[in-house]
């Protein structure tokens, strides 16, 4: 019970602080426009009335938490899943490209890591380029990928998945390199003493040692993959997806819809990270690991 309390209380405390700060910033950001409205209407509201108006504007500069929560609830639970306004529908569209890109990125990251660990030339030549690739802003890469693939007739899910792959392969590659190199020298010498081949050392020692590193990096990768999928929806003119929802909200100044879409993206990311963590624990226990 104490263990659960130690985990829950800090999270609730931080969440409460964020909500209070959010309300304060909402009042501060919406106040100038509300003063202008009151001046034009010839009204002189009290302080509490003024605060209430700043937190109930239909198109606020910064929506209040209760406005975002209401919009999120309505567009998640009170609309049909097939509705164009349903956040479940838009989240599923983004999730499909996220999962595909995450799969590609994880596979690519593992292959790169295996090559780097076993081929010295790749370690010295490929790793610096991998690191350098992540310094290029994804907003600059995404349109180029979309345009090039569209020129050869590839549109839809694949371009967005490749953008997700671009963001997700890096943490997996770095984590797997660290994991594959994590066995102690004493364990490697022991395998050498047993006359184990390179493949036996890899599968029986390096791979099991790398599993915790792999799933830790996959948590980062799956969140990055979601970001890539959302960014990939922006230059494509997509009509569905969280990115498309954000773009449509920016066109029509629907800030509440935009924030609700951001919350939906955060919920999807949290669910994916938790799912990867659960799978990681299951795999570790199946390999004989002890629960933390």
Instruction: Judge whether residue 108 has pLDDT over 90.
Output: yes
- The predicted-structure confidence for 119-140, as pLDDT tens digits, reads as follows 888 878 887 888 888 788 887 7
- The mean per-residue pLDDT over the stretch 168-178 comes to 91
pLDDT (mean) for 62-74? 91
Where do we find the tokens 């690191």? Answer: 131
pLDDT for the residue 4: 67
- Residue of 195 and 226 predicted with greater confidence: 226
Sequence-separated (6 or more) residues with CB below 8 Å from residue 262: 246
Tokens of 31: 């106040």
In this prediction, residues 114-118 reach a mean pLDDT of: 87
Is the C-alpha dihedral spanning 223, 224, 228, 231 positive or negative? positive
Please tell me the least confidently modeled range out of 34-38, 150-154, 181-185: 150-154
Determine the straight-line distance between the first and last CA of the chain, rounded to whole angstroms: 16
- For the beta carbon of residue 234, count every other beta carbon within 10 angstroms: 18
What number is the average pLDDT over the span 106-131? 86
d(CA 34, CA 29): 10
In this predicted structure, what is the pLDDT of residue 234?
A: 78
Q: What is the mean pLDDT of residues 46-52?
A: 87
Percentage of the chain beyond pLDDT 70 is 96
The Cα 57–Cα 33 span in angstroms is 10
- Identify the pLDDT of residue 29: 92
Residue 269 pLDDT level (bands cut at 50, 70, 90):
very high
Q: Write the Ramachandran bin of 273: left for phi over 0, alpha for psi from -120 to 50, otherwise beta.
A: alpha
| Nearest residue to 108 (alpha-carbon basis) of 230, 218, 226 | 218
How high does pLDDT run on average in the chain?
Answer: 86
Q: Are 145 and 208 in contact (CB under 8 A)?
A: no
Give the mean model confidence (pLDDT) for residues 237-254: 81
Residue 150: what pLDDT?
79
What integer is the mean pLDDT of 224-253?
82
| Segment 195-206 mean pLDDT | 82
Backbone Cα Rg of the chain? 24
Q: What is the pTM of this model?
A: 0.84
Q: Determine the pLDDT at residue 182.
A: 86
Rounded mean pLDDT, 17-34: 91
Mean of pLDDT values over 132-155: 80
- Is 291 a residue whose pLDDT tops 60? no
Given a cut of 80, is residue 2 above it in pLDDT?
no
Split at pLDDT 50, 70, 90, the class of 247 is confident
Q: Measured between alpha carbons, how far is residue 242 from residues 74, 226, 275 in Å?
A: 16, 10, 20
């Amino acid at each position: 019970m104490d263990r659960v309390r130690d985990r829950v209380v800090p999270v609730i405390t931080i969440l409460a602080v964020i909500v209070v700060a959010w309300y304060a910033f909402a009042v501060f950001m919406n106040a100038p426009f509300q003063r202008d409205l009151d001046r034009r209407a010839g009204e002189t509201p009290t302080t509490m009335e003024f605060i209430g108006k700043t937190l109930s504007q239909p198109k606020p500069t910064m929506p209040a938490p209760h406005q975002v929560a209401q919009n999120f609830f309505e567009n998640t639970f009170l609309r049909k899943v097939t509705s164009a306004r349903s956040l479940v529908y838009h989240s599923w569209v983004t999730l499909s490209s996220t999962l595909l890109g995450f799969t590609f990125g994880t596979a690519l990251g593992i292959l790169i890591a295996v090559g780097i660990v076993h081929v010295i030339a790749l370690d010295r030549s490929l790793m610096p380029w991998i690191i350098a690739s992540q310094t290029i802003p994804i907003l600059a890469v995404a349109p180029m990928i979309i345009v090039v693939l569209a020129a050869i007739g590839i549109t839809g899910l694949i371009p967005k998945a490749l953008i997700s792959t671009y963001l997700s392969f890096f943490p997996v590659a770095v984590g797997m390199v660290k994991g594959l190199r994590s066995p102690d020298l004493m364990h490697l010498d022991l395998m050498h003493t047993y006359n184990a081949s390179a493949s036996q050392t890899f599968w029986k020692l390096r791979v099991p040692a790398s599993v915790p590193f792999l799933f830790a990096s996959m948590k980062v990768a799956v969140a990055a993959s979601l970001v890539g999928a959302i960014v990939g929806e922006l230059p494509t003119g997509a009509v569905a997806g969280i990115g498309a929802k954000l773009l449509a909200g920016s066109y029509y100044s629907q800030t509440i819809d935009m924030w609700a879409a951001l919350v939906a993206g955060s919920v999807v990311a949290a669910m994916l990270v938790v799912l990867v963590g659960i799978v990681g624990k299951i795999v570790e226990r199946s390999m004989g690991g002890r629960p933390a």
